[in-house]
Amino acid sequence: MNCWSCNHELIWGGDHDGEDYCNEEYNIVTNLHCPRCEAFVLVYHSPKDPEDRIDTAPCSVEEDTPVCDI
C-alpha cells in the first residue's frame, strides 16, 4: 500500500485488537507509517461475521424522514 500524501510505500507497524483502540466494532486495527513524509495510517478491519457488527450510526430514515439520536 502506498502513502496517500507522497505515494511512497508504507511500512507495516503491526496489527492490534480493535478493543485496544476502544472500538469493539472492529476486530483488527493495522497501523502503517510512511518513512518519507512521516504520515501515519490506521486501517480498521471489521468482523468477518456480519451478524457481529455493531450499528453505530446516529441517524436512520423512517418514512423518508431522517431521525437522529444525537
**The domain that contains 32 carries what CATH number?**
2.20.25
Query: Is 68 inside any structural domain?
Result: no
Tens-digit pLDDT profile for residues 17-69: 877 767 677 788 899 999 999 999 988 887 655 665 555 555 555 665 555 55
Secondary structure (3-state) at 50 = helix
Q: How confident is the model at residue 70 (pLDDT cuts 50, 70, 90)?
A: very low
SS3 21: helix
Tell me how many domains the chain contains: 1
- Sequence-distant (≥ 6) Cβ neighbours of residue 62 within 8 angstroms: none
Residue 27 in any domain: the answer is yes
In-domain check, residue 54:
no
Cβ contact 45:53 at 8 Å: no
Q: Find the domain containing 26 and state its range.
A: 1-48
The Cα–Cα gap between 4 and 1 comes to 9
CA angle at residue 18 from 57 to 53, to 5 degrees?
40
Q: What pLDDT is stored for residue 9 in this prediction? A: 96
